[in-house]
Amino acid sequence: MEVPGVISFISAFFTVLYIVLVLAFIRGWHKLKIFSADAAPGSTSVSVIVAARNEEQNIADTIEDLLMQDYDGRAEVIIIDDHSTDQTAAIVSSYAEQGVKLISLNENQALNSYKKKAIQTAIARSESRLIITTDADCRMGPHWLRTIVQFYERSGCKMISSPVAYHQERNWFETAQSLEFLYLIGLGASTIGNNKPSTCNGANLAYERDAFHEVGGFKGIDDLASGDDELLLHKMAVRYPGKIGFLKNPDAVVYTTAKETLGQFIQQRRRWASKSTRYKDKSIIALGVCIWLFNLSILVNAAAGLFYPVLLQTALCQLVAKMIIEACFLWDVTGFMKRRKLLAVLPLLNVLHILYMVYIGIAGNSGKYNWKGRMVK
């Protein structure tokens, strides 16, 4: 068989495999039922934990949203100031009379994972049954906390992943990020729906305090800057199979904003991708590798098409197949988020996504990156 034939055969294999994977995502998403919350009072004690570093522009809005929650059970808000050099700590302190607790990290020795240290410190000072983490630049509606607690009390889950979405897009770059981010959130939700949890987002994550201690907390993953969400999810899934849930309810959505610049976006995604070096579940690793190889094959075919025109046709067929199957998946996810208008940027996003996936697959697993003004790995 000639070179073009071999490459086309391999490409066809990865394309079919990718289509099958996305069909599995669609199946997992539909297995998740919309959760219906009500006005019933909750009885679970809750600690909402927010790690913050240099967030003077955002932290007040986040605290205001947390104080406006309509949950009538026992709940506390704990903000951990991670060595901020701006007015973050002072702003948090101004809410002390409203019950907001401030913890300041005082680590003299350099760490690679300040966020895990912050969360772990807050959990150690909490006696609540349920821990909920979010970020210092997030916004949420007044029913957010009540909805999470009701789902926890009815489902019996040990860990609950809830939706996160970007909002307030100002240009096409941020709009494309919003659609790409919904793909990631949908992917994580669908794997939970298929009882094969792979990803989640720490901006909207809940878990039992006792379960956190039962799995050893962040022990074994505390040397990595990222992973306070996904790597903890994997530990929980092993210890409590079938007890990981995804809360599919619009009131449970937490909102944040996309990155303003390409540099910030790349640094963020490198941080997220760096967690893959510590995955222990081979099926999750295989999932990521298959997606990466599929995108790589499109690039290879596009480049080889300069010498073998038939491979350029193969690349175009792959791109069309990718766009169609992803549109089917995103139609459901964007519908749930009431953001179907984002699909208008899907053709552009598909092309850029291929380049991004191949690059991040390499860069995210090598070297250091900048996070909150620190170089970490």
pLDDT digit string, tens, across residues 16-27: 999 999 999 999
| Tens-digit pLDDT profile for residues 162-192 | 999 999 999 999 999 999 999 999 999 999 9
Contact assessment for residue 92 and residue 102, using Cβ atoms and an 8 Å cutoff: yes
Is the confidence at residue 369, as pLDDT, over 60? no
Q: Would you call 125 helix, strand, or coil by DSSP? A: coil
| pTM beyond 0.95, yes or no | no
The two beta strands, 139-140 and 369-371, are unpaired
pLDDT at 3: 72
Element (H, E) at 370: strand 369-371
pLDDT at 40: 82
Rounded percentage of the chain residues whose pLDDT exceeds 70: 95
Of 12-16, 107-111, 148-152, least confident by mean pLDDT is 107-111
Chain-wide mean pLDDT for the chain? 91
pLDDT band at 41 (very low <50, low <70, confident <90, very high): confident
- 268 or 277, which is more confident? 268
Cα–Cα dist 270/276, whole Å: 10
For the record, the structure tokens of 113 come out as: 């994972």
Contact assessment for residue 119 and residue 127, using Cβ atoms and an 8 Å cutoff: no
For the record, the structure tokens of 167 come out as: 């909002």
